[in-house]
Structure 1
Amino acid sequence: MRAFRISNIGSYVILFLMALFVLLPFFWTVLTSLKTEANIFSVPPQWIPNPVTFDHYADVLREGQFQAFMKNSLIVSISSTLISLAIGIPGAYGFAKYRYRLSGILFGSIIAVRMFPPIVLGVPYFLMMIQLGLIDSKLGLIITYLPLQLTLIIWIMEGFFRELPHEIEEAGEIDGLGSVGKFIRIALPLSLPSIVVATIFSFLQAWNEFLFALTLTRTEVSQTMPVGIAGYVTTFSNFWGKMAATDILFIIPVLLITIFIQRGLIKGLTAGASKG
């Protein structure tokens, strides 16, 4: 019993240290956003803001750039995610349930795209968008994000569809369901937790993407929030307070969504761990 308690204490200590390691940058960003410019650079570092100020948040919201960047991020992320889901979920179902010659190689090739460093695709995408006249446009970013999100969705959903019991689909066939009917009336309802996971991860892929947003955009008309945040670092000065405040405002929507759908997220992450 004593050894069991010691083991539990050790587990809690490890979990606490891991949580501290992950959350410390977030807490430090929150604290930085509440400090005055002088206290941000104080030596030794000031852990508790004194005095607490919300001037950085007021400045960010008053300048108007935040609203434009946030709007662009929402439009690009939501649009690319919805299109990717509409294409990727049926594609994953096809890979999981219908085997044909070279299907394994094709699936492996799609997954291999995720192993490429994004910078490798930077120049080809840039040249393609110039030819299409889509430089500095939200449509250009949406098109660019689709392959990145599609591979992620297909990878997540194919594993879940593959674990669906064949008996359920066979029962559907007896009831007269065809391939489309089985997909819509059986596979999709059973895969909702995994769809939640695929949606969140796909959305975050576009929401946090920086390289292509920086390369393919020029103005506030199409620049997303990660590019806007990077704009606080200039040649002559770094606006750390405003950057920290913008970071927190940028994180809040995703944090609220994740908390709201936490149960579905956990179910989706554990789906497929065991058959049946």
Structure 2
Amino acid sequence: MHKLRLSNLAAYLILILMSVFVLFPFVWTFLTSIKTEVQMFAIPPVVVPDPATLQHYQAIIDEGKFQSFMGNSLTVALVSTVLSLAVGIPASYGFAKYRYRFSGMLFAGVIATRMFPPIVLGVPFFLMMRQLGLINTELALIITYLPLQLTLIIWILEGFFRQLPHEIEEAAEIDGLGTLGKFLKIAVPLSLPAVGVASIFSFLAAWNEFMFALTLTRTQETQTMPVGIAGYVTTFQTFWGKMSATGILYIIPVILFTIIAQKGMIKGLTAGATKE
């Protein structure tokens, strides 16, 4: 009993330390966002501002840039995620359920593209978008993000589809369902938790992407939030207050969505993790 209590105490201490490590940047960013310029650079440092201020939040809203960057980020992330899911779900099912010559090599090749550093793909994508006349458009980002998100979705969903019981599909065949029917009426409904996880990771990949957004966009009308936040670092000054306030507002939609989808995420993350 004594050893059990010690092990539980050690586990709680580890969880607390990990929580502090993960939450500290968010807490520090929030505290910075409600400090005045004087409080930010005060010596000794001011940890909790008194009085607090919302002037940085008011400033970024009044400038109008925040709304533009947020709208662009939402558009690019949502559209690219929906399109990549539309292609990735049937592709994952095909890789999992149908074997043909070189199918294993093809799957490995698709997943291997995820290992390329984004900087390696930057020049080819830039040249392609320039030839298509899509530089400084949201469409350029959507097209660029599609293959990057697609590999992530296939990697997540292929393992889940592979673990679907064969008996369910055999029963569906007896009921007269063909390949498309089995996919739409059996595989897709059963895979919704895993699809939810794939969609969240895919959305976050586009939501937080910086390099391609910086390379392929030029103006406020098309730039996404990561590029907008980087704009607060100038040659002569870094606007810490505005940067922190923008960062806090930018993560709120993702946090809310993750909290709402938490149960489905846990179920989806454990799906396909067991062997038959």
Alignment TM class, shorter chain as reference: over 0.9
The residue that corresponds to 1:142 in the other structure is 142
Q: Give me the whole-angstrom Cα distance separating, in 1, the residues matched to 2:20 and 2:53.
A: 25
Kept in 2, the 8 Å contact 1:153–1:202? The answer is yes
Kept in 2, the 8 Å contact 1:164–1:275? The answer is no
Distance 1:185 1:275, change over 3 A: farther
Q: Give me the whole-angstrom Cα distance separating, in 2, the residues matched to 1:134 and 1:230.
A: 23
Asked if 1:126 corresponds to 2:126, the answer is: yes
> What number of residue pairs does the alignment pair up?
276
What does residue range 3-82 of structure 1 map to in structure 2 within 5 Å? 3-82=3-82
Q: Give me the whole-angstrom Cα distance separating, in 2, the residues matched to 1:45 and 1:162.
A: 55
Q: Give me the whole-angstrom Cα distance separating, in 2, the residues matched to 1:45 and 1:181.
A: 64
Q: Give me the whole-angstrom Cα distance separating, in 1, the residues matched to 2:36 and 2:51.
A: 7
Q: Give me the whole-angstrom Cα distance separating, in 2, the residues matched to 1:226 and 1:54.
A: 22
TM-score w.r.t. structure 1 length?
Answer: 0.99
The residue that corresponds to 2:267 in the other structure is 267
Which letter maps to 1:57?
Y
Q: Give how far 1:274 is off.
A: 2.1
Asked if 1:206 corresponds to 2:210, the answer is: no
List alignment gaps of at least 5 residues for structure 2: none
1:111-143 CA distances to partner (integer Å, 9 max, x unpaired)?
001111110000000111110000000000000
The residue that corresponds to 1:246 in the other structure is 246
Q: Give me the whole-angstrom Cα distance separating, in 2, the residues matched to 1:61 and 1:269.
A: 37
Q: Where has structure 1 moved over 6 Å in runs of 4 or more?
A: none
Aligned identity (percent) is: 69
What does residue range 109-188 of structure 1 map to in structure 2 within 5 Å? 109-188=109-188
Q: Give me the whole-angstrom Cα distance separating, in 2, the residues matched to 1:152 and 1:173.
A: 30
Q: Give me the whole-angstrom Cα distance separating, in 2, the residues matched to 1:49 and 1:114.
A: 43
List alignment gaps of at least 5 residues for structure 1: none
Q: Give how far 1:24 is off.
A: 0.3
TM-score w.r.t. structure 2 length?
Answer: 0.99
Q: Give how far 1:275 is off.
A: 4.3
Q: Give me the whole-angstrom Cα distance separating, in 2, the residues matched to 1:43 and 1:189.
A: 58
